[in-house]
Amino acid sequence: MVREEIVDGFHNAPHRSLYHALGLTKEELERPLIGIVSSYNEIVPGHMNLDKITDAVKTGVAMAGGTPVVFPAIAVCDGIAMGHKGMRYSLITRDIIADSTEAMVLAHGFDGLVMIPNCDKNVPGLLMAAARLNIPTIFVSGGPMLAGRVNGKKTSLSSMFEAVGAYKAGKLSEEGLRTCEERTCPTCGSCSGMYTANSMNCLTEVLGMGLGGNGTIPAVYSARIELAKHAGMQVMELVKKNIRPRDIMTEAAIRNALTADMALGCSTNSMLHLPAIANECGVKWSLDMANEISEKTPNLCHLAPAGPTYIEDLNEAGGIYAVLKEISKLGLLDTSVMTCTGKTLGENIANAVNRDEEVIRPVDRPYSKTGGIAVLKGNLAPDGCVVKRSAVAPEMLVHEGPAKVFDSEEEAIKSIYAGEIEKGDVVVIRYEGPSGGPGMREMLSPTSAIAGMGLDKDVALITDGRFSGATRGAAIGHVSPEAVRGGLIAYVEDGDIISINIPEYSVELKLSPEEIEKRKASVELKVKKDIKGCLARYAKLVSSADKGAIINEF
């Protein structure tokens, strides 16, 4: 045990002298040392309140007889990083966060951990670290932002990106754009729809690593402070009972999370993060699991950007436990799994109530009979690609059209804003994958531009990059193999016909095998040669998207 190696015993007196230098008393060192991993910073809106969450967790730990010790984790705001080179650094922080947390914990002798994430890669990075370290751990997020209000309607960050497209198309005035800018993000917290951050905070509850309300209680509610105190107290119970992350995040729990993902209509980024977490837990993952579970799981929620409701509405409707209670009626969950509450999932959700059947549809009246995410395969993506089916207009579930090909997000944006994309087109953006990007940038700017210009029901987009949870429309990402590793997407030309059939899980480039081989022999792959630092290391080590863009396979 790490504590015995670092804190206890006469031979560790030098180490304890350094703890005394921190102002810790003999009595505090005799109590369990609880590491509090705080993602507080002053650049990410979802993290600006984490100092208060951290203080509340410290109070809870101390109330329950532990000694809290805080250290930091980094975080990138995907919204601020969107659409420029900064987005290359978002996904890679998932591994930086996991690695740096591992280093801090194993160097300093903690008995338990409280993870305080909120946005995007911060949540899966800390879940990966929790699984890797496997000492008693609990999560409490900073909570979601309240929805904005523009012209009497609720709004969120995806609406802001679409407003830019509307402005470029002449459908919104400069004054209207400024109004949206000032009113769309009204509070601290992770952006208010079912985007990546909220998806992963909600799935943390399902995995059993966060208390009820972790994913849905708004950041500005005092109930969020109470939740943090309870998390601080509960970690002491986990230490006492020696309940560890890999006791909780079992294969059954991960399947539960994927099932809830389908019911909630989570971000497609969950198809990167769940396999990465599973890998750290020693659980085998196949992208084919997504369609298997989707076929059995109804989509019960249409949260923004798929619909007009927001995380605050899901909270009022009963939260994640109410969603789980609904899908448990179909026998789709293993409710016997252990959770951080010290109780089983079944015990946690036993008294949950669905208080709004429009926010959480009952299982006999779902938005659709199948789940929110689909994995497509075909010659264009033999190892798979991913689409948020619940956010696709019905008329785009089946589509065939000519390709408009771009070798970067910037090229695509320029063409979209120039009005060069026509109804029926399939926009192809390549060399944006985990290795080729490198960093697998999110494509919220082009998809939002297409939606804002009123083309989301007429134009599809396919990329070896990824999408924000804020994306809606026929946006197909994670194409595997990616272009830089010889995937067929590297050989698509303008005018080639691409066929998409989401209900049948297929995506095909309509070319003969002879023509494909001819192109492979004549086209040189575009490998970026000016990449340095952590991006260069990432490009060499990262797996394909269908495996979760992982660095270390265990």
User: Catalytic residues, which ones?
Assistant: 468
CB–CB of 376/475 below 8 Å? no
State which amino acid sits at residue 492.
V
Where are any strands of DSSP class E within 120-219? 137-139, 148-150, 153-155
Is the CA virtual torsion 541, 545, 550, 553 positive or negative?
negative
Distance CA 141, CA 301 (A): 21
Produce one character per residue of 518-546: b if its CB has 16 or more CB atoms within 10 Å, e if not: ebeeeeeeeeeeebeebbeebbeebbbbb
Q: Give the HSE-up count for residue 438: Cα atoms under 13 Å, Cβ half-sphere.
A: 23
State which amino acid sits at residue 406.
F
> Residues near 493 by Cβ (< 8 Å), separated by ≥ 6?
403, 405, 519
Sheet holding 137-139, edge to edge: 67-72, 33-38, 112-116, 137-139
What DSSP letter does each residue of 502-544 carry, written as one string?
TTTTEEEE---HHHHHHHHHHPPP---S---HHHHHHHHH---
Instruction: Look up residue 266 and give its two tokens.
Output: 């989570």
Enter the DSSP assignment of 310: -
Instruction: Look up residue 361 and give its two tokens.
Output: 């549809």
Q: Give the HSE-up count for residue 450: Cα atoms under 13 Å, Cβ half-sphere.
A: 27
CB–CB of 303/194 below 8 Å? yes
> Residues near 454 by Cβ (< 8 Å), separated by ≥ 6?
169, 171
> Residues near 3 by Cβ (< 8 Å), separated by ≥ 6?
33, 109, 110, 111
> Residues near 325 by Cβ (< 8 Å), separated by ≥ 6?
318, 349, 352, 353, 354
Distance CA 213, CA 225 (A): 11
- Name the CA radius of gyration of the chain, rounded: 23
Cβ atoms within 10 Å of 69's Cβ, excluding its own: 18
